[in-house]
Structure 1
């Protein structure tokens, strides 16, 4: 019965009954301390800020011996540096009689000075009339903390993954929206293209057929001048039809990468002058001026002469088409590279007209395929909206640029930049031979196999 009463006292946290003699109290106290150690629970008694008692579980937990802990001037060094001030303040407040939570988490610093030991402490007053201090039970929660930290990191990773996936979904949705808008736009372009091309094909065919029928119906009744005029119209409309078909074929070849460039060293001045001479008669016939000025007689680059001629011809054709008064000025000169850090020179070809000009909102789309500035103008002026697009593809191929500036009602300036070259660009095979990565025999063999 006496043993049971003492056990009940321990469970209720009350002091041992008076009838329990000192020997029994000592036995029960030792059993309690041993049980806590067996369970891995630390037990310390702190009096006057010093350890008055430590059990073996505390020593095993911290790496200190019992003598080392009892010999400390204060209990504070056992705690992790980040926790020392907080633990000391709580101890002072508790000793002074302030009531607050008796169980809290903190951390010890292992004797090796490196390891942090997360612990949960339960603090109670030392129940003794002759001693003033606290009894502290300690439980190592490092493993739990590690698991919690792993869970926290996993949750952070999951949150980041969630954020990343949400961003990917948003980006993908944005891409799909753009792609959908692009498809709608391309569908509209296709519809416009079919409408424009069918008109451009039908118009010259109608003219050719009509004048051919007139001549056949009244064969021998027309004078020579009338026949010449009819044949001239048929010839002009045939050229127009041929240009449209050539543009469509060029577009298909550029898109498929099957266009033959036939590059060679060319004098750009001569090519531009030839294009100007070709169009001079058409400008005179329309009552417009066409001037050409060059800063030099020779400006070389490597390109297909027919393709550069095609670009200049497209620009002159547009100038002729959209200019009613005044004329077109063509200028060619050398300029610095359009980007910093390059010593490369560029050949600048500018075509300035005094035509209707281009609205600012249309400038960004002027080089798009099948694009017409205005549908009414598209019907007033011949063309399928391919010339400028093809011209840009050609200039891009030669590492150049084509730009436009315009003021509605005052005309436009188209500028073409081509890199100046004094000698042909070396082919990849030649470079590999020079670097010693390929022999001439191997190069010839490879080219033969390719052909």
Structure 2
């Protein structure tokens, strides 16, 4: 007795190993065989009543899928190869055979048999890639893994096999996600599918921090670059994989060393800031008592005693200046410098400096001059810090000039290069001193930088004055620039924003 057609269809849908699916022309699923559930992971209850392409067809293949269905409806049969998406997001290749049926009311239906041919496709792709690229890939220093759109490895070079601990040819056919630790895999499936929708080159080091998973289960940090590759009308993705374990160890060691240095620097700053009173008090006592002895208040001094006391006094003052500079630098480095911004009359401040240092310049036989504009120049600044900077610049000019002149100039409304923007106030110190060689100017503002020390009779200095002045200028929102040539004098300009 023959089996009715609808009963035969029911038996086939229930027991066939392939994915047998019955759908309407609009894609609505009517029947979902056990084989389909096994291949795709969706149960019949989840799929029936839903549109097939919305669940199983990647978005970039929707148009192709609709075209194939239209062809089956028009001709009665059809066969093609395509890509499907499982419930877990992974992709697979299928061979599709479809046939048009009519229901009891004469309305068309489509029954499709879909067979998983991923393994066969991988073998075919692997043979193609081996013939074309094996020699080239084995010549590269990085591990190279090439995968097809379903995420299956079609070829891996020798370096990749060694990197992940697999025997030759053992990676072929595996899903590339297996090379990642489990915590990355679910997200990687989505990233991989999206990459094939919009394939693009991604350079080494531009991605997220990733880890590779060896066959033995051990992990190691990797960098990966991605490149799409077209062959035989299909798109593959080539991944170059680099083990960065050694670099990570260096980075970790460097980070730990930087932390140690930062802690040591903080301890130094705290020590210097906390020892200010202890360091300055005995020095001030030494300098003060030396001054009292030199004034001969306790009694007369012979020439040798007076010379020795002046040596002690000069050494004490030099050491006190060094300590003061060190403490000021430490405060700036620790972010503890306290500034009080208020309107500062620059002309009045420079006249104070003129009154303080002009006698010192004239005592050396130098022509000292002050040049101010016709109108007042007022800045929002910290007067103490501003005065300290200019005193240091003028003091250096007098110290390093044996013959000629020192000029102190205030020039408001200076427009500098286009990148600086706005107007600047310039406080410039010009001298006719020994000058600075171009090679030395680059290190001029470094801590403890002392140039021209090879010259006979070069003045002594702490090497901190210009460094401290530049740091203070930066705190005030400005900077110091220098123009100089050896034996032709120097010009130091303090530039501060006008508004």
When the two structures are superposed, what TM-score results if normalisation uses the length of structure 2? 0.47
Instruction: Rate the CA distance shift 1:86–1:32 in 2: closer, same or farther, 3 A.
Output: closer
Of stretches 252-261 and 324-333 in structure 1, the one that deviates more from structure 2 is 252-261
Q: How does 1:14-413 map to 2 (within 5 A)?
A: 27=3, 33-39=9-15, 57-59=22-24, 62-63=27-28, 81-83=63-65, 105-106=81-82, 120-122=95-97, 138-139=113-114, 154-155=188-189, 157=191, 160-162=207-209, 222=302, 236-261=314-339, 264-296=342-374, 298-336=376-414, 345-373=423-451, 376=454, 380-413=458-491
Please identify the structure whose Cα radius of gyration is greater.
1
Find the aligned partners of 1:171 and 1:363 in 2 and give their Cα distance. 37
SS of 1:365's equivalent in the other structure is coil
Find the aligned partners of 1:221 and 1:336 in 2 and give their Cα distance. 56
Q: CA RMSD for the aligned pairs? A: 5.9
Question: How far is the alpha carbon of 1:244 from its aligned partner?
Answer: 2.7
When the two structures are superposed, what TM-score results if normalisation uses the length of structure 1? 0.51
Deviations 1:79-130 (A, max 9, x none): 953257789999xxxx9xxxxxx9853389xxxxxxxxx9642489xxxxxx
Instruction: Rate the CA distance shift 1:208–1:347 in 2: closer, same or farther, 3 A.
Output: same
**Structure 1 gaps, min length 5:** 1-22, 44-54, 66-78, 96-101, 109-117, 125-134, 191-204, 422-451
Find the aligned partners of 2:473 and 2:453 in 1 and give their Cα distance. 27
SS of 1:82's equivalent in the other structure is helix
More strand by share: 2
**Structure 2 gaps, min length 5:** 31-60, 85-92, 100-109, 117-148, 153-174, 178-184, 193-203, 212-220, 224-243, 269-284
Aligned residue pairs total 324
Find the aligned partners of 1:206 and 1:251 in 2 and give their Cα distance. 24
Q: How does 1:6-17 map to 2 (within 5 A)?
A: none
Given that 2:294 and 2:309 are in contact with CA atoms closer than 8 Å, whether structure 1 keeps it comes out as no
Of stretches 285-294 and 151-160 in structure 1, the one that deviates more from structure 2 is 151-160
- Alignment correspondent of 1:432: none
Find the aligned partners of 1:419 and 1:320 in 2 and give their Cα distance. 27
Question: How far is the alpha carbon of 1:415 from its aligned partner?
Answer: 1.0
Question: How far is the alpha carbon of 1:56 from its aligned partner?
Answer: 8.3
SS of 1:415's equivalent in the other structure is strand
Find the aligned partners of 2:260 and 2:399 in 1 and give their Cα distance. 31
Find the aligned partners of 2:336 and 2:385 in 1 and give their Cα distance. 15
SS of 1:346's equivalent in the other structure is strand
Given that 1:61 and 1:140 are in contact with CA atoms closer than 8 Å, whether structure 2 keeps it comes out as no
